[in-house]
Structure 1
Amino acid sequence: MSNIIIGTAGHIDHGKTALIKALNGFEGDSTNEEKERGITIDLSFSNMTKGQQNIAFIDVPGHEKLVKNMIAGAFGFDYVMLVISASEGIKPQTVEHIEIINLLGLKEIIVVLTKKDLITDDELILKKEEILEFLSTFDFEIKFVSCVSIYDETSVEKLKNQLFSINSSTKQEENFFRFYVDRVFSPKGIGTVVTGTVLGKKCELNEKLYICQSQKETKIKNIQVHNQNALEANISNRAALNLQGVNISHINKGDLITKKGHIRGFDGIDISFKCLKTKKLNHNQTYSLFIGAKKIEVKILLFDCITNLEEGFATIKASENLYTIFGEKILLRSGNDTICGGIVLNPIIDPMKKNQKRNLLEALDKKDFTNAYKELLEAHKKGLGIISSTQRFALSHSEAIEFAKKMQDVFIDEKELVIYPLSTKKFVKDFIKEIYTKNAYALLSNTSIALRLKWASVAFIQSALDELEAENFLTKDVSLYKNANIKEDFAKDLEDIVLKRLKQEDIIPTAPYNIYDDLDLDRKLGDDILKSLTAKKQVIRLQHNLFIHFESLNKIVKAMREIIKNDGFIGIPNFKERFDLSRKYLITYLDYLDNYSDIKKVDDKRLFV
């Protein structure tokens, strides 16, 4: 089924709610307060269907003090139905609604002149021309203009047919599911239910989701689309999601529900903005930010300006994390005045120099991702994760890789999804050279080097090793690399070196991995050496990570037997009096005594049989 979301816009009392009722029978002003005051206070949702076509309506308030509720619904619109009274024409809230939908990038509109029965046909023609002339100053795409009276069924039916003739949702599928919560409630015996508009990708029954603001995972217990149970909710569906394990106090209007791992939150984002005519955005001033269904007070820091600007770049600073993606539309208001609209350019804040940030924002403003990557790599010399491209640039991983391939002087690890500047490879090569220069007997693999350079991927390290091999600095022996100047096979020498190290450590041997790191040995090679020494009984394995030289073990056992002979027993207290060892060693050596047939354990002591 094709889905379209049409949002209403227009001045108070121009007949938006009455028009929806005429089209589908839905009574939008349902609360007592709305009925008493005769205005729409909150968003109302309804739909109508014809065959495989479904049109959902979001009816928004027209009152000037309720514009915030209008904005909360507007982000989900596919088309805007601009409702204007034929008798009154364009009024102040009509203009503000038009300006808001223009700032939000909503270009496809339907113009409906209501109450046509209140004026003559000639007056209606003039009013229509007047409205179209005003709208021509914006770059809207007007799908059609319809003149209606709710008392004229023919005009209502004509409008209905025109609405069903327009194309399905104009929203582009994105890389992951997003859902801004516009209502939260908890029906008795049901649990927490949220409503909103499906963005990005569809969601399915039993799918795991993530509430960004509360950092909570949840699962969809039930989906309703237009009051009908459904197995899934597609893009541009108005949906109600019954969430598992979420207390109503843990989720609020404006919260973002998505898939875990796709969006990180930051207390700042960078935007481009353009103010309405006669308005300016002031530096270091507090404004109300509207994004999705969320409203939050934020501070604006203009870029390259300490006074005010009509358009440009700015950083938004908030008291809580903002969860946004590249290209998202925002609005900034001061009190009841809409000041400007903006586009999220940089949803992930990185430490950057000012000139780098300027170049980055200019590239992002043009969707020049290749140059954006270049600027980010200047700030991320130890690698830039492509995995963040879904949020940074609204690009899939494959699209991000293709952009990266257009760049010069970079190494792309397509498996780990990381881009490295080639200048960083010199650092990796120098790091490896230093190891082999200090220790001519070093034997390391790409994975063992990766354990030391945790920010570098195995593939990136391997590319550095390949170059060092080509430069005749290293030679490869199966998967290990050794100093090219050492020609002899020093495997036996390494056994002697490890054995000597354990003998020096005596009764307090360190963990094998510490020995390997100190001797610059690959961990697998080190394990093989210890296995060989253990098989020869030159080294004894006491625990998973505790190996001791056989002479040291014999010495400590002899000393422990002497304690039993003198004290009649050995336990932790009298053992520690003679040997100031950590509890780990004391317990290990006491446990080892249990291997001897002439020693028995009684409670926590060892005695001769």
Structure 2
Amino acid sequence: MKSCPVIVIGHVDHGKTSLVGALTGIETDRLPEEKARGLSITSGFAYLKGGDANIDLVDAPGHQNFIRAMVGGAAGARSAALVVSAAEGVEAQTLEHIAVIETLGIHAGIVVLSKADLVAPSERPGRKVALQAALAGTAFRDAPLIFCSAVTGEGLEDIAAALRGLAALPAGAGPAGAFLAIDRVFVAEGHGTVVTGTLLGRSLKPADELLLAPSGEIVTIRRIEVRGETVSMAQPGERTALNLRGVAASKIKPGDVVHAADAGAASLNLDAAISVSARAGRPVRHMEEIRVLYGTGNGVATLRLLGRKEVSPGETGFAQLRFTAPAAAFAGQRAVLRSLSPSQTLGGAIILDPAATPLTASKALRLATLEAAYRGDTLALAAALAAEQGGVARLGDVCRLARAPEASVRASLGEAFTQIADGFVSPAAVVAEARDAYLARLCAYHAEHRLRPQAPRSEILAGHVSLLLNLHVEESLAAAGVIRLSGGGVALAIHDAAANLTPDQTARMHGLARQLQADGLTPSGTAALIRSPEDAELLELLVERGEVIRLSNVSLKQTIWLHAEAVSSAIQMLRTGFPGETAFTTGEAREALKTSRKHIVPLLEYLDAAGITQRQGDTRCMV
């Protein structure tokens, strides 16, 4: 069974509620105030069954004071029926409602000339021509026009048939998962909390878990009703009532959202494409406060334009909408923008990123991202996101802004992107560039410091490149045998510092080794060993060759150099002095090795790290 949500719009007192009642037999004015005043204040809901289609009708308030309620009623609508009194013609709210429908991207379905019983048959052709002229520049310019009367019943069958025909319209772009903007919340006796709205995205069934936004609470569906009947599943596009478990009705309000985890987000910042209506009386300006009507919610946001100071009527720009309270939306959702004073519709927005981070100084990079998202260019979008984030794009971000599942996004990226970590991709060209730049920096370091066996990794990693990309480049180069990694150092596999030694340098290096060999476990201090910058490099080379071991006394902030033979001798002496699992203290080890506390503590810590000794509290034993 096909279904289609249709919003019924038009100027106040043009007969919308009477028309819906005549078509469906359902009275949509339910509030006592509405009945007393004969004026719709909130959106009313009815449905039209028959044939192979079900039409959910949303009777929108027509008065200008209730434009927010009208926009909320349009949440999820696929098409619109415009009601214009045949006796009175197009009026102010007729045009504003049309502007809202155009802004929300809702299909212009049919035009109903109501109260036809008040117009003589001879006047109808003229009224029709006048209406067509008034609608010529709007989305309803090609919509069929049907005369009707809720009093006499004229045209009702034609309207019903035309409405059922709207069910064949394709659904617009929606969220990735189930998403329901709440327009009503109440307590049903014996059942508990119930929320209603038009379901978008995906189907829902009892026991499904959803997120309540913006609070983030997890709720579970207990029961589902569609058009007053309990159902086993609600389909996208249907007016749906959800009986929720796990939340009190007092914690929910109209404007909140229940959605699947992958269907939306609640954020203080929404990045959007901003379009100002050609009929707007003024531009929108950077840092202007503006009212944003989205789904069934609304809020005041600061408009932070990217790359320009204002967007003029008829133009489109890009901006971040910064709210004071979280707004729950999905990528691709449309919103209405209204000035605060005087209150009037200025244009609309398409939400491109519902989970945006606050804009920083790199606005130009973000602008490229939003432009690609607006065009629907997945390759350009991923490249722009990577440019924003040091060469790396989070795959989840690409999927969210592209409004596409991961499999589809991966297919679009193809070989132009490389996966550098789980859930992260980078343009293949950027990876190649980062690899070449890494090797260039390492080569330059070796050229400047010919005697150093390794370069500090911290100096070779690029500061402007994402750490993930840096690590990917390192790991791939090491796996290919191009570089060798050792702790905090890195070197080209072909780099041999010893080959660069002069005879004098070789002699000095051997002299340093002999001095440390003679010192045993009471080595000379760094000041006595290193008499020139060259000596420091020679010591590092001895460490690289395994002849010397470098220790650190953290508390004294000193570096200690021991000959490898002295360390080997110390290990043997400890095994002899404390055989098997005999426990010994630091003091006992110092006594056994005839050394000082300054040297014994870093030596034992080195042996712990090497797995030669095992510490248990204040004692150790040989492994």
Q: Please tell me the residue identity of whatever aligns with 2:316.
A: G
CA contact 2:175–2:330 (8 Å) conserved in 1: no
Distance in 2, matches of 1:396 and 1:153, equals 48
Tell me if structure 2 keeps the 8 A contact 1:268–1:321.
no
Q: Aligned residue for 2:4?
A: 4
**1:412 corresponds to:** 419
SS in 1 for 2:584: helix
Pair 404,587 (structure 1): closer, same or farther in 2 beyond 3 Å:
closer
Once the two structures are TM-superposed, the CA of residue 85 in structure 1 deviates from its matched residue by 0.9
For 2:390, the equivalent position in structure 1 comes to 381
Show CA shifts across 1:199-239 (max 9, x none): 11222221111123101112111111111111221110111
2:116–2:147 CA contact under 8 A, matched in 1: yes
Report the alpha carbon displacement of residue 137 of structure 1 after superposing the two structures with TM. Answer: 0.9
Task: State whether structure 2 residue 370 is matched by structure 1 residue 366.
Answer: no
Moved more, 218-227 or 288-297: 218-227
**Is the contact made by 1:64 and 1:93 (CA closer than 8 Å) also made in structure 2?**
yes
Task: Give the Cα separation in 2 of the matches to 1:229 and 1:591.
Answer: 71
Whole-Å Cα distance in 1 between the matches of residues 245 and 471 of structure 2? Answer: 40
Alpha-carbon RMSD:
4.3
Query: 1 CA distance for matches of 2:474 and 2:167?
Result: 52
The answer as to whether partners of 2:183 and 2:195 remain within 8 angstroms in 1 is: yes
1:191 and 2:195 equivalent?
no
Instruction: Compute the displacement of 1:125 (Å).
Output: 1.8
- Displacement of 1:332 after TM fit? 1.2
In 1: Cα distance, 2:441 partner to 2:235 partner:
51
Aligned residue for 2:344?
A: 337
Cα deviation, residue 193, structure 1? 1.5
Deviations 1:403-450 (A, max 9, x none): 32374xx423596353353134457768999999999799xxxxxxxx
* Contact 1:5 1:58 (C-alpha < 8 Å) held by counterparts: yes
Structure 1 residue 270, shift from structure 2 partner = 3.4
Matched, 1:144 2:137: no
2:506 maps to which residue? none
Q: Does 1:180 align with 2:186?
A: no
Distance in 1 (CA, whole Å) between partners of 2:120 and 2:67 is 32
Aligned-partner Cα distance in 1 for 2:441–2:327 = 39
Match of 1:288 in 2: 291
Q: Deviations over 1:432-479 (max 9, x none)?
A: 99999999799xxxxxxxxxx97359977654445x42xx4459xxxx
2:405 is aligned to: 396
1:105 positional shift: 1.5
Task: Provide the C-alpha distance between the structure 2 equivalents of 1:158 and 1:232, rounded to a whole number of angstroms.
Answer: 31
Distance, in Å, in 2 between the alignment partners of 1:121 and 1:539 is 115
Cα separation, 1, equivalents of 2:586 and 2:236: 73
CA distance in 1, matches of 2:495, 2:434: 26
Q: Does 1:274 align with 2:276?
A: yes
Match of 2:127 in 1: 127
1:63–1:462 distance in 2 versus 1, CA, 3 Å: same
Measured in 2, the distance between the counterparts of 1:104 and 1:84 equals 20
1:30-49 pair list within 5 angstroms? 30-49=30-49
Instruction: Give per-residue Cα distances to partners, 1:541-569, cap 9 Å, x unaligned.
Output: xxxxxxxx978962139979xxxxxxxxx
Shift of 1:16: 0.6
- 2:468 corresponds to 1:455: yes
Q: Does the aligned pair in 2 maintain the 1:3–1:169 contact within 8 Å?
A: no
- Tell me, in whole angstroms, the C-alpha distance in 2 between the residues paired with 1:2 and 1:332: 32
**1:61 offset after TM fit, Å?**
0.2
Q: CA deviation at 1:592?
A: 10
2:312: which partner in 1?
309
Partner of 2:537 in structure 1?
none
Superposed CA deviations along residues 351-384 of structure 1, whole A, max 9, x for unmatched, are 4623323433443343333323322221112521
What amino acid is aligned across from residue 340 of structure 1 in structure 2? G
Separation in structure 1 between the aligned mates of residue 370 and residue 83 of structure 2, nearest angstrom = 37
Q: Once the two structures are aligned, what percentage of the paired residues are identical?
A: 23
Alignment CA distance shift 1:77-1:551 (3 Å)? same
Measured in 1, the distance between the counterparts of 2:176 and 2:442 equals 39
Q: CA 1:100–1:425 in 2, change beyond 3 Å: closer, same or farther?
A: same
Q: Would you say the 8 A contact 1:267–1:319 is kept in 2?
A: no
Cα distance change, pair 88–412 in 1 and its aligned pair in 2 (3 A)? same
CA distance in 2, matches of 1:139, 1:430: 59
Q: Does 311-320 or 96-105 show the bigger shift?
A: 311-320
CA distance in 2, matches of 1:292, 1:63: 19
2 CA distance for matches of 1:587 and 1:187? 65
Q: Distance in 1 between matches of 2:321 and 2:85?
A: 38
Residue type matched to 2:338 in 1? R
Please give the secondary structure, in 1, of the residue aligned with 2:329: coil
Q: Secondary structure of 1:326's match?
A: coil
Report the AA paired with residue 423 of structure 2.
E
Contact 1:429 1:464 in 2 (8 A): no
Matches for 1:17-56 after TM superposition, within 5 Å? 17-56=17-56
Determine the structure 2 residue equivalent to 1:522: none
1: CA distance, partners of 2:85 / 2:476: 69
Report whether the alignment pairs 1:229 with 2:230.
yes
Structure 1, gaps ≥5 residues long: 443-452, 476-480, 487-493, 509-535, 541-548, 561-585, 594-609
Partner residue in 2 for 1:569: none
- How many residues align? The count is 512
Give the Cα–Cα distance (whole angstroms) in 2 for the partners of residues 417 and 36 of structure 1: 60
Range 374-383 or range 298-307, more displaced: 298-307
Equivalent residues of 1:290, 1:331 under 8 A apart:
yes
Superposed, 1:154-553 pairs within 5 Å as 155-168=155-168, 170-172=170-172, 174-261=175-262, 263-264=264-265, 265-283=267-285, 284-306=287-309, 309-310=312-313, 311-313=315-317, 314-335=319-340, 336-347=343-354, 348-349=356-357, 351=360, 353-405=362-414, 407=416, 410-412=417-419, 416-420=423-427, 421-422=430-431, 423-425=433-435, 455=468, 463-466=476-479, 468-469=480-481, 472-473=482-483
DSSP-derived class of the 2:127 partner? helix
Quick check: 2:210–2:219 contact (8 Å CA) kept in 1? Answer: yes
- TM-score w.r.t. the length of structure 1 is 0.72
Change (3 A) 1:141 1:231: farther
Partner of 2:593: none
Cα distance change of structure 1 residues 128 and 454 upon mapping to structure 2, 3 Å threshold: same
* Structure 2 counterparts to residues 526-605 of structure 1, below 5 A: 554-556=583-585, 588-589=616-617
- Secondary structure of 1:233's aligned partner: coil
SS at match of 1:153: coil
Range that drifts further, 57-66 or 199-208: 199-208
Alignment correspondent of 1:77: 77
Cα deviations by residue, 1:42-67 (Å, 9 ceiling, x for unpaired): 01111121244211011110011011
- For residues 150 and 592 of structure 1, do their structure 2 counterparts lie closer, same or farther at Cα, with a shift above 3 Å needed? same
Q: CA deviation at 1:331?
A: 1.0
Question: Against the structure 1 CA distance between its residues 28 and 339, is the aligned structure 2 distance closer, same or farther, given a 3 Å change threshold?
Answer: same
Query: Aligned partners of 1:440, 1:427: CA distance in 2, in Å?
Result: 20
Name the counterpart of 1:112: 112
Give the drift of 1:248.
2.4
Q: Aligned partner of 2:409: which letter?
A: A
Q: Which moved more, 1:387-396 or 1:81-90?
A: 387-396
Q: CA deviation at 1:324?
A: 3.2
Amino acid at match of 1:554: A
CA distance in 2, matches of 1:212, 1:269: 18
Is the Cα contact below 8 Å between 2:3 and 2:167 reproduced in 1?
no
